[in-house]
Amino acid sequence: MIKKIFSLFLLLSITTLSVPSAGIAATCDPLPAMGQSLQKITLTEDGTYAIKIRMYAPGTDKDSLYLKIDDQCQIVIRSTQVGPGFTWVNYQTGDTNKILSFDLKVGNHTIILAGLKPGTGADALSIDKQESCGSNCQAPASSTDNNSQPASKNVAVTKQPNFILIGLAAAGVFGALGFLIWKYWRFTKHGAQQLPEDILPASTKLFDKLVHFFRHHLVTSLVCGGVLVASIVVFAVGAASFSSTLEVESGQLSGATATVKDSSASGGSYAVFNNNQTTTTGGTNGSTSQNGGSTTNNNSGGGGNNTPPPDNTPGNQEAVCPAYPSFPTASCTGWQHTGVTLTTVNGIYYATTPGQVLDSKDFQDGVVVEADNVTIKRSKVEGKGSGPGAGIWVNQGVSGTLIEDVEVTSQTGFDAANENTIVDRAITGFKTNGLTMRRVYAHKMIRGLQYGCNTLIEDSYVDDEINPTGAHMSAIGGETCSDFTLTVRHNRVGLAPNVNDSAALLFYPPQVGAYGTQNLHVSYVNNLIFGGTYCMWLSSDPQFIGAVSVTDNQFGSQYYSGCGLYGTHFKDNWGSEGSATMTWTGNKWQDSGAAISF
């Protein structure tokens, strides 16, 4: 019996820690130009490592950043606790069940924290070796993202004893041994009270006494033995812990990353990612330093967030997508990069209240905007068919509509051969005023974005059209008005091959005489354009006055070697009709950089 007990102890004391292998292939999008803090660490052992980030999230619009390890794709870290002060976060996308845990090999590794929402800060980063996390690990993935990063001094993650675990182990060992010794002492002291056949002669050897004791206290012995084994394991883990805490602001900072002094930060300051805006939180003197310059805020009272109001001038919004000469991707447009959780809205939604804000919604059947100054943001719009409600439909004459961080697509399970199951036009803005589309992700529709009389389209991604109909299609198009302003800036504009393609970027006047004189203020700048019969269709008209500017755009060969099926651009009556001027400069091929002349 004793041999079986000792065998059980031996079996319990043998533990094997297995580490899942990495190697999930992935293609990563570039990190946005919101500033970065880069840290390099050196691991002396393979293992599974848990990561925690001490974040500063002053509000729901300033609560997220990116974490990128080595060549794996970045993940979103969002704090569920917002407001002044710091919080340790060890989960991703605001889901406390998605713990940050990674299988890493011995050697050098790079950890990058990058801005996602302006004003989000990070104070410290902790990396600790854990036991194997099995299928819950985030395995580093290979990547084609070749962003060059500045050098940074390596920080070794070395053995640092976890004294809490060691203390618990010691308590377990001394507690179990002490209890067994006490029980044995009571057993031998009161042996006369045992049954006659259990009383041992004084000459009995110690080993025989122990065997006799175990026979009478088998359960107690097993429990104490288990506690001893567990304590030994805990002690080993605590003594061999690998741990390191890094100051984020002490890493290699780049881009729009500021260092903010704060007496409550672990090192007296922290890093904030804010696109060249200055954030000051409750520190001793409120001073702030920033790459490329410095500012001082004599806010000696401490407490609170003192962030200047955002600049709503077109083109000066938060740079979530990578700046030109990079271009927007699917991961920096639409709603998913914001980290919000969507609330489902069934049926066509009619926005009838002026100034209404529609945030974090999944509109299952489209949206109709009937009131002025409506905002749709951080949402998904699914639709089917044509007309009001198929995508986002802004009624004629409506002003001030803002569509930002919105994905527009066909409903799940659509039939690519059935036009009634596909969104006809992602966004309809015919004869609207002051329409802004920013970071829109439009895909899986027949036609893309339609501009109105005064429209800004920027940092958006339009591609992957589907057309089972006979209708002509474009990625961005519309009609001019008597006083017409259009800015199409820094977008990825593609038109998938189809027999009914028009141009990816279509500039086409209405029928002659429809508006009389049409005064143009048109700018196409810093766009990536590809696909369609031509990548751009530029029409003139006898009643055109004003100016059209096409500058610093890149023409790609994603669908056709000539950009479009027939070439890069079509000049329709320019120079022979109307008096509007054309500026064409800095336009080139994406692949070779060769200039493209008008």
Does any domain span residue 131? Answer: no
Does any domain span residue 494? Answer: yes
Does any domain span residue 330? Answer: no
Q: Taking 60 as the threshold, does the pLDDT of residue 34 lie above it?
A: yes
331 in helix, strand or coil? coil
User: What is the average pLDDT across 539-560?
Assistant: 92
User: What is the average pLDDT across 533-542?
Assistant: 91
User: How far is it, in rounded angstroms, from Cα 405 to Cα 411?
Assistant: 18
Question: Tens of pLDDT along 496-510?
Answer: 998 888 899 998 877
User: How far is it, in rounded angstroms, from Cα 105 to Cα 159?
Assistant: 15
Angle of CA points 348, 354, 359, to nearest 5° = 55
pLDDT attached to residue 311: 35
pLDDT attached to residue 44: 79
Straight-line distance from the first to the last Cα atom of the chain, in angstroms, rounded to the nearest whole number = 95
Question: Tens of pLDDT along 97-106?
Answer: 888 888 888 8
Mean pLDDT of the chain, nearest integer: 76
pLDDT attached to residue 402: 97
Burial (CB < 10 A; 0-12, 13-18, 19+), residue 468, is middle
Least confident of 66-70, 293-297, 339-343, 436-440: 293-297
Does any domain span residue 573? Answer: yes
pLDDT attached to residue 186: 66
Q: Which residue range is the domain that position 195 belongs to?
A: 163-239
Does any domain span residue 107? Answer: no
Sign of the CA dihedral 492, 425, 392, 395?
positive
Q: Taking 70 as the threshold, does the pLDDT of residue 308 lie above it?
A: no
Least confident of 53-62, 118-127, 140-149, 268-277: 140-149
Q: Taking 50 as the threshold, does the pLDDT of residue 310 lie above it?
A: no
Q: How confident is the model at residue 465 (pLDDT cuts 50, 70, 90)?
A: very high
User: How far is it, in rounded angstroms, from Cα 152 to Cα 165?
Assistant: 33
User: What is the average pLDDT across 319-342?
Assistant: 90
Q: What separation in angstroms does the CA of 528 have from each of 400, 442, 491?
A: 27, 15, 6
**Which tokens hold the place of 316?**
């000066």
The kind and range of the H/E element at 52 are: strand 47-56
User: How far is it, in rounded angstroms, from Cα 16 to Cα 337?
Assistant: 39
Q: Yes or no: say if 380 and 334 are a contact pair by the CB < 8 Å rule.
A: yes
Sign of the CA dihedral 206, 212, 215, 219?
negative
Least confident of 89-93, 414-418, 587-591: 89-93
Q: Yes or no: say if 360 and 378 are a contact pair by the CB < 8 Å rule.
A: yes
Q: Taking 60 as the threshold, does the pLDDT of residue 92 lie above it?
A: yes
Q: What separation in angstroms does the CA of 97 have from each of 57, 78, 104?
A: 20, 13, 21
Query: Nearest Cα to 119, choosing from 333, 270, 301?
Result: 270
pLDDT attached to residue 28: 64
Q: What separation in angstroms does the CA of 212 have from each of 179, 188, 198, 227, 420?
A: 17, 10, 8, 21, 85
pLDDT attached to residue 252: 84
User: What is the average pLDDT across 2-22?
Assistant: 34
Q: Which residue has the higher pLDDT, 44 or 384?
A: 384
Least confident of 29-38, 88-97, 128-137, 283-292: 283-292
Q: Which residue has the higher pLDDT, 501 or 7?
A: 501
User: Please, which residues have CB within 8 angstroms of residue 1's CB and are 6 or more apart in sequence?
Assistant: 214, 215
Q: How confident is the model at residue 43 (pLDDT cuts 50, 70, 90)?
A: confident
Q: Which residue has the higher pLDDT, 266 or 154?
A: 266
Of 201, 221, 239, the residue that ends a domain is 239
Q: Yes or no: say if 238 and 169 are a contact pair by the CB < 8 Å rule.
A: yes
Beta bridge partners of 425: 447
Q: Yes or no: say if 127 and 109 are a contact pair by the CB < 8 Å rule.
A: no
Does any domain span residue 226? Answer: yes
pLDDT attached to residue 275: 44
Q: Yes or no: say if 559 and 496 are a contact pair by the CB < 8 Å rule.
A: yes
Q: Yes or no: say if 451 and 457 are a contact pair by the CB < 8 Å rule.
A: yes
pLDDT attached to residue 143: 32
Of 201, 219, 239, the residue that ends a domain is 239
- Whether this prediction's pTM lies above 0.75 is answered by no
Of 218, 239, 260, the residue that ends a domain is 239
Four-point Cα dihedral 421, 535, 517, 545, nearest 10: 160
User: What total number of domains does the chain contain?
Assistant: 2
pLDDT attached to residue 532: 94
Q: Which residue has the higher pLDDT, 158 or 594?
A: 594
pLDDT attached to residue 203: 56
Least confident of 173-187, 189-203, 353-367, 450-464: 189-203
